Amino acid sequence: MKCEEVEKGLVAYLDRRANSAERRDVEEHLAGCAACRTRAEEFRKVWSVLEEMPTVEPSFGFDARMRQRVAAEPQRGWFDWFVPQSRLAFSAALLVALTVWIAKLPPSNPGTPGTTTATQQQDFNAIQNLGVLENFDVVTKMDALSDLAPAGAQQPDKSQPNDTTTND
């Protein structure tokens, strides 16, 4: 056994509450470890001094006097439970201050709000140019819309001439 394990079971061993296997393990360790043996002797000396001290019995009316003193203590009213303690009030004020401070902080990613606004503007422009808002369900289910390039896709260069020819 290790010294830490013996130290945990030493009081039970000396008090004779340990089972026979634990007692045997502690005795084997104490035979080989001088530090633990010294500690066990110190415990035995302390217990012998404590056993020599007389036992103090409470006086005859101790229980009755104690109950009277407890009864004489001022009782808290039901309203006192709602009165905040100083630590609670301080914690609540600190929480409010922290919440306000965090709400006032600038966003950590400054590009995000602008991107959201630009996306919303593109969506609005797409709907504004649609022209057929009353048949929106029909338009959204058209197969032709799936051929269109997504909004984030790269648009072809307008400087290049189109390959389309007109048949006039």
Prediction pTM value: 0.35
The 10s digit of each residue's pLDDT in 81-139 is 677 678 888 889 999 999 999 988 877 665 555 567 777 787 777 766 655 555 666 65
Reported as half-sphere exposure (CB side, CA atoms, 13 A), residue 163 has a value of 2
Cα dist from 24 to 18, 19, 73, whole Å: 10, 9, 53
Q: What residue type is 100 in one-letter code?
A: V
Boundaries of every domain in the chain: 3-52
In the prediction, which pLDDT does 94 show? 94
Cα dist from 116 to 95, 139, 156, whole Å: 31, 25, 24
Tell how many helices (H) and how many strands (E) occur in the chain: 7, 0
